[in-house]
Chain A
């Protein structure tokens, strides 16, 4: 792997750790399988690039993109909470609708930056970081987001959100408005993902309407790999896992692309194997990895950790 590819992997690793943070909030904390992200990632890209091309300051445009993501999340929450549409379906509906909306925002299937300044160009004026310009800025953003999420989940509202996701009946008995928590959590989650999309588009120079396909898979892969790395389930380690998982995943992608004999079409299969291995590893805490693997192979018990994916 060239230094170039390594820097690129760190770049996209930090970017997708933002997605992983968003997915952590929805899937893990709120127990809400949210597929909106496949739509809010390109939404962030579309809003940011469309705004920049019209002359808006790139930082303002990026913030606007995050706000757009929050709005998309609230729509999904509305569908789920108010209209009582099953949460998985609610996310899908918003995601599908966003495809058309993103096309409208850009006015065309893909929209390049056309020489306008991106946040990376502005950052580059602070100093000559060379190859590492984007990596540094993105690293700062990712760590900043992680610390923000950590802080948030430790506030009274954040604690209520965590309770709401894990035990809605108990949360309600403690006076927590579960509906409000869904709105808040899904909005923040999609704001993070849209932010990632905005930064991704600025890094590569173009926003494309189909760039959201597979965002949820990447986010989940990063999240699960991170959980396999850090066993204990505290908030601090959970969010750290998002960053570590994002970096690990993208480094892995870059490595396999550099090897040459594993083609991109094999990448999906390899991703599946890695994620499955990570899930198994993270679930056999007490038994040790090998034992855990064997015990799962030879004694599948229905009801015994039946729905592993929801844990």
Chain B
């Protein structure tokens, strides 16, 4: 489904502040895979996501989604194929718009927008309620509430729903629980898992928590300094706990890494 071929991303090339964020990423993600991505500070996790989503243009290499070469596509165009949930709950939804307006916006992702009314009536509202009910947050009764009044966790849940409203090739979760408190984070993670399973989605989830990385999904990759250092299938992972994972990682990159470093990484 997702094929990254020798992708390099460099910021400020040729200047004193040049940063080679991705230094040759080769990554294949099959349809239906749920991949967790973890790595130390500056490893390039967010740049990897930016490259997939379209906000960072690779200076070398290709990116394919399905059978389309999307390397030259900008973020707006890629939105038709990529669903995205941001880390900041306030970024994933529009605070002044109501829940149904946000959902209506998401319902036209990748499609041509016209002058017909965005909120098209009871049929649409019923469909939104249907989608909101399983979240278990009672949001289906508050469709016209401005989203800015909801808590971070609720907004993130709606973001998740918005990202998965329409079919897409890949869902990108960018540390989407990092800004939530633990109980809410757990709930949102659970939701993510359920939605991914129900819809058979291909998911790439960046997380700062090694525990979550091992517990969720079917595959884990660890990044270090712009390359993929470790790629663990679910079989490999099932035998590991966090310390073992760290040891494995240290061996792969040739230096010791402790969990604090990982935790503080972005």
Complex contact flag A–B (Cβ < 8 Å):
yes
Residues of A within 8 A of B (CB): 152, 154-160, 162-163, 166-167, 169-178, 233
Contact at A173–B118, with CB atoms within 8 Å?
no
Interface members, chain B 72-98 (any A CB < 8 Å): 75-77, 79-80, 84, 86, 91-97
Contact at B114–A155, with CB atoms within 8 Å?
yes
User: Which of B53, B79, B95, B118 makes the CB contact (< 8 A) with A155?
Assistant: B118
User: Which of A158, A160, A163, A173 makes the CB contact (< 8 A) with B84?
Assistant: A173
Nearest chain B CB to A74 CB, angstrom units: 19
Residues of B contacting A154 with CB < 8 Å? Answer: 117-119
Contact at B76–A163, with CB atoms within 8 Å?
no
Cα A177 to Cα B110 with chains together (Å): 10
Nearest A residue (CB) for B162: A174
Choose, from B100-108, B202-210, B231-239, B250-258, the stretch at the interface.
B100-108
Between-chain CB contacts (< 8 Å), 26 pairs = A152-B115, A154-B117, A154-B118, A155-B115, A155-B116, A155-B118, A156-B108, A156-B114, A156-B115, A157-B113, A160-B108, A160-B113, A162-B96, A163-B94, A166-B94, A166-B96, A167-B95, A170-B91, A170-B92, A171-B105, A173-B79, A173-B86, A173-B92, A175-B80, A176-B79, A233-B146
Interface members, chain B 107-127 (any A CB < 8 Å): 108-111, 113-119
Cα A65 to Cα B245 with chains together (Å): 69
Residues of A contacting B80 with CB < 8 Å? Answer: 175
Contact at A170–B93, with CB atoms within 8 Å?
yes
Cα A152 to Cα B113 with chains together (Å): 12
Chain B 162-176 interface mask (CB, 8 Å, partner A; 1/0): 110000000000000
Contacts A159-B105, A162-B94, A166-B95 given; indicate if A172 touches B76 (C-beta within 8 A).
yes
Contact at B115–A157, with CB atoms within 8 Å?
yes
Cα A162 to Cα B118 with chains together (Å): 12
Residues of B contacting A173 with CB < 8 Å? Answer: 53, 75, 79, 84, 86, 92, 163
User: Which of A159, A169, A175, A233 makes the CB contact (< 8 A) with B118?
Assistant: A159
Nearest B residue (CB) for A160: B113
Contact at B97–A156, with CB atoms within 8 Å?
no
Nearest chain A CB to B29 CB, angstrom units: 19
Contacts A154-B118, A166-B94, A173-B53 given; indicate if A160 touches B105 (C-beta within 8 A).
yes
Nearest B residue (CB) for A29: B96
User: Which of A152, A163, A178 makes the CB contact (< 8 A) with B105?
Assistant: A163
User: Which of A158, A167, A175 makes the CB contact (< 8 A) with B94?
Assistant: A167
Contact at B106–A174, with CB atoms within 8 Å?
yes
User: Which of B91, B109, B110, B118 makes the CB contact (< 8 A) with A158?
Assistant: B118
User: Which of B55, B86, B108, B116 makes the CB contact (< 8 A) with A170?
Assistant: B86
Nearest chain A CB to B191 CB, angstrom units: 19
Nearest chain A CB to B170 CB, angstrom units: 13
Q: A155-B117, A156-B115, A173-B163 are in contact. List 13 more A-B contacts (CB 8 A).
A: A157-B115, A159-B105, A162-B97, A170-B86, A172-B76, A173-B79, A173-B84, A173-B92, A174-B105, A174-B162, A175-B77, A175-B80, A175-B109
Cα A157 to Cα B115 with chains together (Å): 6
Contacts A155-B118, A159-B118 given; indicate if A177 touches B76 (C-beta within 8 A).
yes
Nearest chain B CB to A98 CB, angstrom units: 29
